[in-house]
Copies of this chain bind each other. A is one copy, B any other.
Amino acid sequence: MGKKTVSLIMLLCFTAIGQLSAEDGSRLWLRFQLQEKTNLPDFSGIQGELSSIALQEFQLAWEEMTGNSLLETDKPTGHTLLIGTLENRLIRRLVDREELHELGPEGYILRSVMQGKDRFTIIASTKENGLLYGAYHLLRLIQTNKYNDTLRITERPRYDIRILNHWDNLNGTVERGYAGYSIWQWDQLPEQISPRYREYARANASVGINGTVLNNVNASPDILTDDYLKKAKVIADILRPYKIKVYLSVNFSSPKILGGIPDSDPLNPRVRQWWQEKAREIYRLIPDFGGFLVKANSEGQPGPQDYGRTHADGANMLADALQPHGGIVMWRAFVYNPTEEDRAKQAYSEFMPLDGQFRKNVVIQVKNGPVDFQPREPFSPLFGSMKQTALMPELQITQEYLGFSNHLVYLATQWKEFLESDTHCNGDHSTVAKTTDGTLYQHPVSAIAGVANIGQDANWCGHHFAQANWYAFGRLTWDHTLPAEEIADEWIRMTFSNRDDFVAPIKQLMLSSWEAAVNYMMPLGLHHIFAWNHHYGPEPWCDIPGARRDWLPPYYHNASEKGIGFDRTTTGSNAVSQYCSPLNGQFNDVNSCPEELLLWFHHAPWSHRMQNGRTLWEELCYRYDDGVQQVREFQKTWDRMEPYLDRERFRHVQSRLRIQSRDAVWWKDACLLYFQTFSRMSIPYDIERPIHELEELKQIKLDLKHHN
């Protein structure tokens, strides 16, 4: 009864909030709109442990959908929803124990069963974790009109650790955040608790995310002070029921800065001791603390190389401190120095020699591509190659390089391309996913991370459709074999409408949106030609006196009268050699290199003949124009959807699409007019003409330093 009262109060609160800001996007994909009876299961009662978070969550949603509670029943008659572990007598009778154990603590069975005249819909797991995910699975089926009475589902996650990385600073700003200030209100903690923390937990749990790094990888040492740890503990306590563990980014110089030790040398016993004590202190506050995320010796951050030690020395020291408590170290491979070596090669060069030297509770966190979350990159060559060390992919959900929260870009297609890339390092079909999820190389832990796109904006992500990327990240971490289309389908139905007339065109829009953005920003393997620092808009001409060459676009595009692109072949930087055979050869040959990556691996002449017979210059022009035309079509598609939508979200997305449409033309004009100064060729005359002057575009300097 007590729990039920709580649920009811929560429901009332939620409903009240819901009505005030009905369609501002704040409810994400958890809208649980009042369903038509025909779409609902005909549950006559519910059975299970009332204290179970899974049962509570289901009840809460059910009441929202139906306006009624589902009554607890001891004697099942009619159609009973049964949620429980093997502790439950009925579960033990209806589910095979062995089968359940094989699914692990997060796996579950979701099944329709007839028992005499009584029907059961069962959610069974060995642990409460699995029940929670199972309950959300059932809710998803109901929300998307896909529930039926012949369910036969078993699920277990592909990755053990499915984690968000918040690049949130302790002062409330968010690096590369485009949805307002950080949801973590450190200045108000531990006393004041935002209701958003629990909503955040529910949303993540509903898509299978089970970990979160609260603070920026460019970490302030302060996070490890007593004050901040007590604040973090409060968050951890709120997330725990939703099976989400808290992790922290740490500054490698913390012992020196906080501990008064002369250095932070990982081989210094005092340093090692400091970390061990800090670990104990953390675990006293947060017994299930997940571990550390570390950006070391990268872009000015301190690290073990400051003391002549290796990344392995640094990571292992932290791993040793966390190991007694069950914590892990996620050590980032995003390292590059202002040397003459091709930036795309440096992570591999630094980390490959260390393979085999890391502790078992170290995971190397590797960005999907070898440079930095560009619109399209080949996969990082560390994947597949580094076999004796656990590698976890790092994806970027926030759209640092994809139009911030102004552009509609559905990223599941990008991530699928990455996860399904065949590294060939362990024979054919050695996809990135299989080399990291434990299928091909076994390590104690598998993991995958995504840089969050979450902020204080009412709709969480700035753009309503950016929610889809949070959603898709979670779903893919659970099961990377899910098609991007299926994930989009689920999300659209839950977020907007189940109407087929709506779902089909919007799904099509989402599925083509990433390729559109690549087209109008950086087609054919172009990369990093963004505006300086903030990365919004084009600046292929960017030249900042004294700046690192590898932070400047001309370093990457190398446009000249001879051609365009970065020569990474054997006669160039030889980055191709970091890939396993036969990929290295395929990338090395301008005629076998995938055209989508042509200018990533090759400096090709403007007259290079593409497979469709066009010259490279012509193809570049058509791609940019395609991007513009695609966004115009997105606008048409969206405007047609007005009858299916609430006015608030319709107008919001409509307005962002207008910006995207303007930006696409901006990109096209800037890049074509700039590259034309080298190619000295005409833009094919059937293409819409530029409407800007190159010199005017060069004057644009947006003041977007803080992205808040």
Residues of A within 8 A of B (CB): 632, 635-636, 639-640, 642, 655, 657-658, 661-662, 682-683, 685-686, 688-693
* Residues of chain B with a CB closer than 8 A to A686's CB: 636
Contact check, A662 vs B639: say whether CB atoms are below 8 A apart.
no
Q: A639-B685, A661-B689 are in contact. List 19 more A-B contacts (CB 8 A).
A: A632-B689, A635-B689, A635-B691, A636-B685, A636-B686, A636-B688, A636-B689, A639-B682, A639-B683, A639-B689, A642-B682, A655-B693, A657-B689, A658-B690, A658-B691, A658-B692, A658-B693, A662-B691, A662-B692
Can you list 6 A-B pairs with a CB-CB distance of less than 8 A?
A: A635-B689, A639-B683, A639-B689, A658-B689, A658-B693, A661-B689
Contact check, A688 vs B632: say whether CB atoms are below 8 A apart.
yes
* Residues of chain B with a CB closer than 8 A to A691's CB: 635, 658, 661-662
CA distance A693 to B652 in the complex (A): 11
CA distance A234 to B686 in the complex (A): 53
CA distance A597 to B682 in the complex (A): 41
What is the CB-to-nearest-CB distance from A22 to chain B, in angstroms, rounded to a whole number? Answer: 22
Instruction: Name the residue among A632, A682, A689 with the largest chain B CB count within 10 angstroms.
Output: A689
* Residues of chain B with a CB closer than 8 A to A657's CB: 689
Contact check: which of B635, B636, B685 meets A640 at CB < 8 Å? Answer: B685
Closest to A651 in B: B693
* Residues of chain B with a CB closer than 8 A to A635's CB: 688-689, 691
What is the CB-to-nearest-CB distance from A691 to chain B, in angstroms, rounded to a whole number? Answer: 5
What is the CB-to-nearest-CB distance from A376 to chain B, in angstroms, rounded to a whole number? Answer: 25
CA distance A508 to B187 in the complex (A): 68
What is the CB-to-nearest-CB distance from A655 to chain B, in angstroms, rounded to a whole number? Answer: 6
* Residues of chain B with a CB closer than 8 A to A642's CB: 682
CA distance A259 to B639 in the complex (A): 68
CA distance A682 to B658 in the complex (A): 16
* Residues of chain B with a CB closer than 8 A to A682's CB: 639, 642
CA distance A655 to B696 in the complex (A): 11
What is the CB-to-nearest-CB distance from A403 to chain B, in angstroms, rounded to a whole number? Answer: 15
CA distance A233 to B635 in the complex (A): 63
What is the CB-to-nearest-CB distance from A619 to chain B, in angstroms, rounded to a whole number? Answer: 19
What is the CB-to-nearest-CB distance from A430 to chain B, in angstroms, rounded to a whole number? Answer: 45
CA distance A255 to B683 in the complex (A): 63
CA distance A636 to B655 in the complex (A): 29
Closest to A687 in B: B636
CA distance A640 to B685 in the complex (A): 6
What is the CB-to-nearest-CB distance from A659 to chain B, in angstroms, rounded to a whole number? Answer: 8
What is the CB-to-nearest-CB distance from A35 to chain B, in angstroms, rounded to a whole number? Answer: 29
Closest to A660 in B: B691
What is the CB-to-nearest-CB distance from A695 to chain B, in angstroms, rounded to a whole number? Answer: 10
CA distance A4 to B639 in the complex (A): 72
CA distance A642 to B636 in the complex (A): 34
* Residues of chain B with a CB closer than 8 A to A662's CB: 691-692
Closest to A685 in B: B640
* Residues of chain B with a CB closer than 8 A to A692's CB: 658, 662
* Residues of chain B with a CB closer than 8 A to A661's CB: 689, 691
What is the CB-to-nearest-CB distance from A665 to chain B, in angstroms, rounded to a whole number? Answer: 8
* Residues of chain B with a CB closer than 8 A to A655's CB: 693
CA distance A112 to B84 in the complex (A): 110
* Residues of chain B with a CB closer than 8 A to A685's CB: 636, 639-640
CA distance A658 to B686 in the complex (A): 16
CA distance A686 to B642 in the complex (A): 15
* Residues of chain B with a CB closer than 8 A to A689's CB: 632, 635-636, 639, 657-658, 661
Closest to A665 in B: B691
What is the CB-to-nearest-CB distance from A666 to chain B, in angstroms, rounded to a whole number? Answer: 11
Instruction: Name the residue among A636, A688, A691 with the largest chain B CB count within 10 angstroms.
Output: A691
CA distance A636 to B662 in the complex (A): 20
Closest to A654 in B: B689
CA distance A26 to B227 in the complex (A): 76
Closest to A689 in B: B635
* Residues of chain B with a CB closer than 8 A to A690's CB: 658
Closest to A695 in B: B655
CA distance A414 to B655 in the complex (A): 38
* Residues of chain B with a CB closer than 8 A to A640's CB: 685
What is the CB-to-nearest-CB distance from A198 to chain B, in angstroms, rounded to a whole number? Answer: 35
Closest to A692 in B: B658
Closest to A635 in B: B689
CA distance A212 to B178 in the complex (A): 61
* Residues of chain B with a CB closer than 8 A to A636's CB: 685-686, 688-689
CA distance A661 to B691 in the complex (A): 6
What is the CB-to-nearest-CB distance from A669 to chain B, in angstroms, rounded to a whole number? Answer: 9
CA distance A551 to B686 in the complex (A): 42
CA distance A693 to B656 in the complex (A): 10
CA distance A692 to B661 in the complex (A): 10
* Residues of chain B with a CB closer than 8 A to A683's CB: 639
Instruction: Please list the 6 inter-chain residue pairs (A to B) with the smallest Cβ-Cβ separation, ordered nearest first.
Output: A635-B689, A661-B691, A658-B691, A662-B691, A640-B685, A639-B689
Closest to A690 in B: B658
CA distance A612 to B475 in the complex (A): 51
What is the CB-to-nearest-CB distance from A140 to chain B, in angstroms, rounded to a whole number? Answer: 32
What is the CB-to-nearest-CB distance from A224 to chain B, in angstroms, rounded to a whole number? Answer: 46
What is the CB-to-nearest-CB distance from A657 to chain B, in angstroms, rounded to a whole number? Answer: 8
What is the CB-to-nearest-CB distance from A622 to chain B, in angstroms, rounded to a whole number? Answer: 15
What is the CB-to-nearest-CB distance from A51 to chain B, in angstroms, rounded to a whole number? Answer: 50
CA distance A682 to B638 in the complex (A): 12
What is the CB-to-nearest-CB distance from A654 to chain B, in angstroms, rounded to a whole number? Answer: 8
What is the CB-to-nearest-CB distance from A457 to chain B, in angstroms, rounded to a whole number? Answer: 18
What is the CB-to-nearest-CB distance from A205 to chain B, in angstroms, rounded to a whole number? Answer: 37
Closest to A661 in B: B691
What is the CB-to-nearest-CB distance from A640 to chain B, in angstroms, rounded to a whole number? Answer: 5
